[in-house]
Amino acid sequence: MQKNIGYIHSIETGGTVDGPGIRYVIFFQMCPFRCKFCHNPDTWYKNPMGIRTLDNVVSDILKYKNFFNFSGGGITVSGGEPLLQSEFVFELFKKLKKDNIHCALDTCGYVDINDTIKGVIQNTDLVLLDIKHINTQIHKELTGKDNNKVTEFLNYLSNVNKKVWIRQVLVPTYTTDIVYIEGLIKFLDKYRGIIEKVELLPYHTMGKEKWEKLGLKYQLDVEPPNNQVLQEIKDKFINSGYDVLIN
Ligand code: SF4
């Protein structure tokens, strides 16, 4: 991948759910996972129609600087998986930090920690780390890949004391069971010093239509979690001392 060219799926200029304040959210193309619950399968593939230059993206972002300042917002790179284009993200964040723009990285954490990734993290103000499942076998069943790299990534964030919001999709039969939630809290407790917030993302079926349009067979046959289940899970986190929100 090139540092001055990004393969971008789409851009949202008034985002309010991917980090603090009003955010310019860049959804990058391509992803190493194939999550059964994915609601953005249209980001999985490389499409040259979405090519943007670094300078073009930076100049567009700078138009929104006042919105970032008054709302406490900034930019978020998401996807897909932005770290598959880490050279571009590194250059982007370096340029934006010169203008004091808050940079958030929404990632699945499935990367090898090399110098470019270290540079991205150094220029990142906040990492939104998506945890798919803490059991590596079930992680593989859900995403197609095991979770070893994700744990290594979280260890690295802990080593460099990087602020993190943990995001957990709540998928009935996979991640809504109270025993699973207790195990997750125990796992996260090791990283409590860097975790600022836990975001619970209830599974929904809004992406199903996209799978069908792409000619893909939708992989899950479960209903979204009900409010009682969501409240029980939220209470578990609150009682364990976490700042938690449901999005
Ligand atoms: S990591 Fe995100 S974009 Fe990639 S497959 Fe999973 S849900 Fe979809």
Whether the per-residue pLDDT at 1 is higher than 90: the answer is no
- How many residues does the structure list for the chain? 247
Domain at 5-167+192-198: CATH architecture: Alpha-Beta Barrel (3.20)
221 Cα: distance to centroid of ligand 1 (angstroms): 18
Q: Kindly state the percentage of the chain with pLDDT values over 70.
A: 100
Residues 6+ apart with CB under 8 A from 167: 106, 128, 129, 130, 131, 198, 199, 201
pLDDT tens for 144-162 read 999 999 999 999 999 999 9
Please state the pTM of the whole predicted model.
0.97
How far is ligand 1, taken at its centre, from the CA of residue 118, in Å? 22
Strand ranges inside the chain, DSSP E:
5-15, 23-28, 51-53, 74-78, 102-107, 126-131, 164-170, 195-202, 244-246
Task: Give 61-81 pLDDT, tens digit per residue.
Answer: 999 999 999 999 999 999 999
The pLDDT of residue 2: 81
Task: Return the domain boundaries, the chain.
Answer: 5-167+192-198
The residues lining ligand 1, judged by C-beta closer than 6 Å to any ligand atom, are: 31, 33-35, 38, 40, 43, 79-81, 108
